[in-house]
Structure 1
């Protein structure tokens, strides 16, 4: 997949941190490392943005409950990963989350909020576990966890923006599409009459 220059610029702005190359200037592996981890993989980006899109699509309390559920359970998964608790099929779970979330969004059906929270919560554990197991040895678990939680919340906000933006566009396009459809039906009727 070819990445656009805009994507590269946006990603670099989001993950940019001060240069800490000098001894004693601070750790480059705590908060910054945690923050950059979700931003660095397409699978994480897609899943976390999808949670925001799904939350916007579901509406109501789901707008904030789905992101909170995801972040909470991701932190739980992260703690399990940091603690060294083995979890099977983590990579499959991460990729599967992209597929499942994408499919749920594509189907466009409203889910009960509790079911949607459970869905994103289960999927979040896989993402969190991956974040936790990939934490640098010298990083503070709290700083690292705070970094990946904030990055995830930002990606959810991006997804909410996309979801609400799509709704606005659809609201404006739908009446025009209906009128065009009506015109096509009338034209087909004229064609039938002429035949």
Structure 2
């Protein structure tokens, strides 16, 4: 699992480092989109929360694998709209810090909850993260391009988390499959 986690984090880091190369297209719209893509990747609080949502979705399994990321992205977009509109929300930074702690703890404890409860929880945290994205949007940015960028980036981080969460089951499944294929030593006594 440590190798897989390291590989996943290395992949996210490589993608983060490779993105600035795409910024030299000469198109201001591309730069606004790229700024949106980079925003979730440049803050450790956003990065950890979005990957944790994916891991937790995988741990919950079933419909949670797509419902939790979808709920997060929908509410992230709503929170961003509030931030762009200048509507203040109380305790945004404290809520974002709580999202890292709570989701990290849920992942660590492998705590499964009903999908509706999980969606409400990640959705509430997503509003705060989205609000931060919206209020931190550069003044010159085109909101739609910037928003599409951070939504895409968020989806990729959720996907990385889901992959990490699902991959932890692979070694157990392979071992179980291998064990089923081995002859039972209690029935093979060596007689001809």
TM superposition score normalised by structure 1? 0.79
Count of aligned pairs: 171
Deviation at 1:30, TM superposition (A): 1.8
Deviates more, 1:6-15 or 1:66-75: 6-15
Which residue of 83, 86, 93 corresponds with 2:85?
A: 83
1:9 aligns to 2:11 (yes or no): no
1:22-41 equivalence runs, <5 A: 25-27=27-29, 29-41=31-43
**Deviations 1:116-141, CA, capped at 9 Å, x for gaps:** 00010000011100000011111111
**Who is 2:116 aligned against?**
114
Shift of 1:101: 0.3
Aligned residue in 1 for 2:5: none
Distance in 2 (CA, whole Å) between partners of 1:10 and 1:36 is 10
Cross-structure match for 2:24: 19
Structure 1 outlier segments of 4+, above 3 Å: 5-10, 170-175
Alpha-carbon separation, structure 2, partners of 1:173 and 1:96: 37
Gaps of 5+ in 2: 1-8, 178-192
Quote how far apart the aligned CAs of 1:105 are: 1.4
Counterpart residue number, 1:145: 147
RMSD (Å), alpha carbons: 2.5
* Alignment equivalent of 2:48, drawn from 26, 34, 46: 46
Higher alpha-carbon deviation: 30-39 or 151-160: 30-39
- Does the CA contact (< 8 Å) of 2:55 and 2:107 recur in 1? yes
TM superposition shift of 1:14: 4.5
Give the match's secondary structure for 2:23: coil
CA distance in 2: counterparts of 1:158 and 1:8, whole angstroms: 12
Gaps of 5+ in 1: 176-195
Cα pair 1:29 1:138 within 8 Å, conserved = no
TM-score (norm 2): 0.80
With over 3 angstroms needed to count, the CA separation of the structure-2 counterparts of 1:52 and 1:174, relative to structure 1, is: same
